[in-house]
């Protein structure tokens, strides 16, 4: 019984550690993906600001053709970079999904082991109560028997 409990405790410690590590890895992968997507969004925002500057420059009529072309080209490059960033983040999406699956797998395994632990504790308590009940019953029987014998 004690050996079984110590083995179960050791297995639970390892399972908890693995589940925590998988959760941390899944969190890191999600953060990497969100950072990449956030960077792409920020690039899109910068491109939009440059396009707005471009339209403002054209409305004012005070800009040179070269400045308009440079602003437009820079805006286009920002958009292209943002799109490239989104394309580059596609493999990260798969990593996030995989890390989530691994974490879920370890979580389910841990849940199963914790259920076994609860069942073992319940069984140990039932055995303790049964033993105490037998001891009390034996004690009462012994006293009654002594009274009847005397």
| Number of domains into which the chain is organized | 1
8-43 pLDDT, tens per residue?
A: 899 999 999 999 999 999 999 999 999 999 999 999
Angstrom CA distances, 67 to 50, 94, 104, stand at: 12, 42, 54
Q: Which of 46-55, 62-71, 116-125 has the highest mean pLDDT?
A: 116-125
Q: Which residue has the higher pLDDT, 148 or 110?
A: 110
| Angle at which helices 65-88 and 90-149 cross, to 10° | 30
For residue 65, what is the domain's CATH number?
Answer: 1.10.287
Q: Rounded CA gap, 26 and 38, in Å?
A: 18
DSSP-based three-state secondary structure for 62: coil
Asked if the model's pLDDT at residue 76 lies above 90, the reply is yes
40-49 pLDDT, tens per residue?
A: 999 999 999 9
127-141 pLDDT, tens per residue?
A: 999 999 998 988 888
Q: Distance between the two ends of the chain, CA-based, in angstroms?
A: 42
25: enclosing H helix or E strand: helix 2-60
Q: Which residues constitute the domain of residue 63?
A: 2-149
What are the residues whose beta carbons fall under 8 Å from the beta carbon of 113, sequence distance 6 or more? 8, 11, 12, 15
């Amino acid at each position: 019984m004690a050996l079984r409990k110590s083995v179960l405790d050791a297995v639970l410690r390892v399972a908890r550690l693995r589940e925590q590590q998988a959760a941390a890895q899944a969190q890191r992968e999600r953060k990497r993906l969100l950072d990449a997507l956030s960077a792409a969004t920020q690039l899109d925002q910068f491109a939009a600001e440059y396009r707005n500057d471009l339209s403002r420059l054209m409305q004012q009529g005070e800009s040179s053709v070269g400045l308009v072309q440079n602003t437009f080209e820079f805006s286009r490059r920002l958009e292209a970079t943002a799109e490239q960033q989104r394309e580059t983040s596609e493999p990260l999406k798969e990593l996030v999904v995989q890390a989530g699956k691994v974490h879920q797998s370890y979580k389910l395994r841990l849940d199963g082991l914790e259920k076994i632990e609860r069942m073992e504790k319940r069984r140990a308590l039932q055995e303790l109560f049964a033993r105490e009940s037998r001891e009390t019953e034996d004690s009462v029987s012994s006293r009654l028997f002594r009274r009847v014998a005397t």
